[in-house]
Structure 1
Amino acid sequence: MRTIDWRDDHIVAVDQTALPDAVRMLDIHTVAELTDAIRRLAIRGAPALGVAGALGAALAAREPADVCRRQVEALRQARPTAVNLAWGVDRAMRRLPEGPAAVLAEALGILDEDVRANRALAARGADWLLAHGAARLNVQTHCNAGGLACVEWGTALGVVRALHERGALGRVYVDETRPLLQGSRLTTWELARLGIEHTLVVDSAGPSVLARGLADAVLVGADRIAANGDVINKIGTYPLALAAARAGIPFVVAAPESTLDPDSPTGQDVEIEIRDGAEIVHMGQIRTAPAGTPTLNLAFDLTPADLVTAIVTEHRVIHPAKGERP
């Protein structure tokens, strides 16, 4: 099953807000529908957003020039922190002078490249972990960086899948990932379908999992990687990096080359999305804080390069903690 695809001149995508209760597909015919799906996280995950941006550009390319420009800019800004979204839009739109068919061809190329890239980085990540650890590993992950965050394979969970296929994976400890529970709703759903042993923990227990020696490595994805190796990922990643450093275990980021952003010198230069506070004063439809409670709903955090043991892409392994830069 592909998380996002092109079918009969429109986008089809898994509605990730419906999981784990139902597998529901979205049929998206307009850029406005796509932008809405991205903003409400029905489509999410850095590589999937790159593909969505490219396919959205193909939709926009059918429109008159002024409409196309407005739609493309709104789409680029739908999730400002995730660099892949704007990357996908811009790469596809460079073909616009050749006509809408060329934009679509570029977008479909990006879609197929995502599958190949993530399979390659998954194999490279598994190789690196096995070369730097035990023959059988327990890992801890945060948020969702599996097939749902890509087209059909995964980044961090792609590495997990590669370890599992080699018989080298023990157990995966999954952080729930507040406030929208991408870990408990999405990652556990994927792991169960793959037959991978896993245990769900609350976010605040994540560092204690490492302190107790239950995991041999932390494995996460990324939404943007700055030129100095700083990593921007789902809020709650930074505490895991601190805990991994304290426990003396690798903190590994798995992300395609498209997530590397040479135009952001450091993580401090990246805009961190702040989402609606309603997400943290409700659990589903249930209110968990008094009405009017002030909130700061940071969607992402910054993990400094010196805490990042390795960044694994489809082409290479970078070691920021040793001073290497992307």
Structure 2
Amino acid sequence: MTHVVTAFLRHGGRVLLTRRSDRVGTYRGRWAGVSGYVESDPDDAECDARRELEEEVGVTDATLVRAGRPMTIIDEGREWTVHPFLFDVADRAVEPNQELADVEWVHAPVICERGTVPELWPTYRRVAPTLETVQTDDTHGSAWVSIRALEVLRDAAADAESRAVLVSVARALRDARPSMTAVGTRINRVMAESGRSPDALRRRAEAEIDSAVVADETAAATAATLVRDRGFDRVATLSRSGTVVAALEDARPSVLVAESRPGLEGVTVAESLAKKGFKITLTTDAALPGLVADGAVDAVLVGADTVLSSGDVVNKVGSYPVALAAARAGVPYVAVCARDKIRDDDEFVGEDGGSLYDGEASVTTANPRFEVVPAAFVTGVVTEDGVLDADAVSEVAAEHAELEAWDDDDAGATDR
């Protein structure tokens, strides 16, 4: 049996498809992922996947997202064991070699419309994001998680025969992360603005993914401009907001980063920025407020998992004490996010980070993942539309409330 790898590269909600050239031995002219033979131990096929990424498209810094279960494919008398992989990349720059006639970044369901190598769509589905991806991720910010939720809905629409099936999927995704408003807002928009057919819903989900990526990028660029224009040369942050990281990479201040327990995603941020030449200081969550209060930074830049209609900001636990310290020191405390994170009410639904104690004594634990920073301590909320004041936040919240009507319109859809 021949073992092969198929690696899917992902950026901004799209994946890379490659069209095999006349120089390859099999499936000439067919579309595929980045593929090749397993030359080492099949149990360590990731090494072969990374080799193929470098040889075929010149990618050496991809981040592994998921390795799928191998699948057996029988085609025209040949039997293949395919090892699927999904990688994220920081940009879409690729350098195809002579084995590829063409490359294209597409939404994954396009696979179903192309002449591909055998079983490419089932191969992709083995590494595609799932409801569990959305429910359990405790490393990435809500912008990243919301795009994964849209991918799940998009991919489900490619397989569905009716909207009724997708209503159940959409409800589960919308409710998966109550503290991450962008997830619900973006799912609601797709459901409210799509037609009745699964194909129409799929197309609307694809458009929403593309617009969400642009919104997040624009919010980051707006924040970077603010940092430069106001001369914030020393910035503190915590957790792992992709939007904030993009803003920092653009503005290039020195950065004070909290480790962000328990996931330590702040360590990942510090390491990533340091490798790009930034002056980085990594500190503990407990020490960050004191450093801010002592004047170690010119501004605090944080993400937002939710902005309530009151202007209060929900973010990773540890944000509130830093806001208090910033206020004491007269340091601006700025939240950066896409406007889709603005919620249409003032109710905060938290998420528990798990038990802190497994002993035999009767100990009640409180380990929240998120907390509320009152609007009085937030200097501004920076979005793709600029810095929003309280009235603008209220207007956006009202817009988002209207998107929720789809659920009433589809009431009972899962029973039809």
TM normalised by structure 2 equals 0.62
Is 1:158 aligned to residue 246 of structure 2? Answer: yes
- Aligned-pair CA distance for 1:178: 1.2
2 CA distance for matches of 1:177 and 1:251? 18
2 CA distance for matches of 1:189 and 1:104? 37
How has the CA–CA distance of structure 1 residues 325 and 256 changed in structure 2, closer, same or farther, with 3 Å as cutoff?
Answer: closer
How has the CA–CA distance of structure 1 residues 251 and 43 changed in structure 2, closer, same or farther, with 3 Å as cutoff?
Answer: closer
- Aligned-pair CA distance for 1:297: 1.7
Residues 220-279 of structure 1: CA distance to partner in whole angstroms, max 9, x if unpaired? 000110111100011110111000000101000000111111x11x3xx121112322xx
215, 224, 230: which is aligned to 1:126?
224
Give the greater-gyration-radius structure (CA): 2
Q: Which residue of 1 aligns with 2:307?
A: 225
Q: Which residue of 2 aligns with 1:45?
A: 141
**Alignment length (residue pairs):** 283
- Aligned-pair CA distance for 1:193: 4.1
2 CA distance for matches of 1:157 and 1:83? 20
Q: Which residue of 2 aligns with 1:181?
A: 264
Is 1:145 aligned to residue 145 of structure 2? Answer: no
1 CA distance for matches of 2:378 and 2:342? 14
- Aligned-pair CA distance for 1:120: 2.2
Residue identity in the other structure for 1:41: D
- Aligned-pair CA distance for 1:110: 2.4
Answer yes or no: is the 8 Å Cα contact 1:32–1:71 preserved in 2.
no
Give the stretch that moved more between structures: 309-318 or 57-66.
57-66
| 3-state secondary structure, aligned to 2:297 | coil
How has the CA–CA distance of structure 1 residues 225 and 244 changed in structure 2, closer, same or farther, with 3 Å as cutoff?
Answer: same
Q: Which residue of 1 aligns with 2:106?
A: none
Q: Which residue of 2 aligns with 1:251?
A: 333
1 CA distance for matches of 2:127 and 2:187? 12
Answer yes or no: is the 8 Å Cα contact 1:123–1:162 preserved in 2.
yes
Q: Which residue of 1 aligns with 2:101?
A: none
Spell out structure 1 runs of 4+ moving beyond 6 A: none
Is 1:210 aligned to residue 296 of structure 2? Answer: no
| 3-state secondary structure, aligned to 1:174 | strand
Give the gaps of 5 or more residues in structure 2.
Answer: 1-8, 18-61, 67-85, 87-123, 395-416
Is 1:29 aligned to residue 29 of structure 2? Answer: no
Q: Which residue of 1 aligns with 2:386?
A: 316
1 CA distance for matches of 2:233 and 2:351? 34
Answer yes or no: is the 8 Å Cα contact 1:82–1:224 preserved in 2.
yes
- Aligned-pair CA distance for 1:294: 3.4
How has the CA–CA distance of structure 1 residues 71 and 123 changed in structure 2, closer, same or farther, with 3 Å as cutoff?
Answer: closer
5, 8, 12: which is aligned to 2:13?
5
Answer yes or no: is the 8 Å Cα contact 2:138–2:263 preserved in 1.
no
Residue identity in the other structure for 1:139: V
2 CA distance for matches of 1:143 and 1:50? 17
Residues 190-237 of structure 1: CA distance to partner in whole angstroms, max 9, x if unpaired? 313433221111100011111222111000000110111100011110
- Aligned-pair CA distance for 1:124: 2.0
User: Identity, % of aligned pairs?
Assistant: 30
2 CA distance for matches of 1:194 and 1:260? 32
Is 1:69 aligned to residue 167 of structure 2? Answer: yes
Q: Root-mean-square deviation (CA), in Å?
A: 2.8
Q: Which residue of 2 aligns with 1:274?
A: 352
Residues 76-127 of structure 1: CA distance to partner in whole angstroms, max 9, x if unpaired? 2221110111122222223553422322222222222233223322232233
User: Which of the pair has the greater relative contact order for Cα pairs under 8 Å at 6+ separation?
Assistant: 1
- Aligned-pair CA distance for 1:66: 4.5
| 3-state secondary structure, aligned to 1:144 | coil
